[in-house]
Amino acid sequence: MKNKQVQAKEKIELNYDMVYSLADLLPGESVDYDLIYAAVEQILQAIGEDPSRSGVKDTPDRVARMYAELMVGYRQDPIEILNGAVFDEDYDEMVVVRDIEFYSLCEHHLLPFLGRAHVAYLPKGKVLGLSKIPRVVDMFARRLQVQERMTRQIAEFIQGVLDPMGVAVVIEGLHLCATMRGVKKHDARMTTSAMLGAFRSHAPTRQEFLDNISRGSPPIL
């Protein structure tokens, strides 16, 4: 991960309503364990498996607990993620955090898509602690997603929280629903981007970001 150092100054008060609305959370404390448990048992039966066979008898439990973990982004408190890490700062150079690993589940097939996110913004008086950007990516990745929406949600979240000159997000994802199902392989990799503010209106700014993220990244898989 390559990025520019930002010296923290003064903590900023957040607009809680706006932050929650941008986080687009779901109600409830967690996923419904019992419902997932029963559904997985039914899937096993539907396949023709014997749910009491030793290899799969604990599978409904494992899957139900796994979903609680994979879907945690629906219920993460964005204030807790951000709090104490949004600062007043007159730094106005581009901040880039690249090669953020993410794992998500495609909402069409419930299969993983994974890859890397690259995030940049141009501060306008406020900066976000660098370790928080991967956490924001994670909050949106650990849900059922489509890559296009996830890209836009990350960009709009940072735009809303920091009100910078602009935000850029590029995501490279490998979609197992395409690779596993024997669709043409080149359909399996997808790059999406969201360019806001200066990254949209000012070509050299956009280019600086794109040049930065194209340098020396290893393949996703």
Contacts to Zn ion by CB under 5 A: 106, 108-109, 177
Count the helices and strands in the chain (H runs, E runs): 9, 8
How far apart are the C-alpha atoms of 104 and 70, rounded to whole Å? 8
* Closest CB 177 distance from Zn ion, rounded Å: 3
Give the C-alpha distances (Å, rounded to integers) separating 22 from 18, 111, 159: 6, 25, 10
- When the beta carbons of 11 and 108 are compared against Zn ion, the nearer one is 108
- When the beta carbons of 130 and 146 are compared against Zn ion, the nearer one is 146
The amino acid that residue 204 corresponds to is: P
- When the beta carbons of 26 and 183 are compared against Zn ion, the nearer one is 183
Q: How many residues does the chain have?
A: 221
* Closest CB 109 distance from Zn ion, rounded Å: 4
Catalytic residues: 106-109, 147, 175, 177
How far apart are the C-alpha atoms of 67 and 62, rounded to whole Å? 9
* Closest CB 178 distance from Zn ion, rounded Å: 7
How far apart are the C-alpha atoms of 145 and 37, rounded to whole Å? 22
* Closest CB 121 distance from Zn ion, rounded Å: 29
- When the beta carbons of 115 and 134 are compared against Zn ion, the nearer one is 115
60-87 as b/e, with b when 16 or more CB fall inside 10 Å?
Answer: beebbeebeebbebbbbebeebbeebbb
Residues 6 or more apart in contact with residue 85 via CB below 8 angstroms: 128, 129, 131, 132
* Closest CB 108 distance from Zn ion, rounded Å: 4
- When the beta carbons of 34 and 107 are compared against Zn ion, the nearer one is 107
Helix axes 33-47, 59-70, angle to 10 degrees: 130
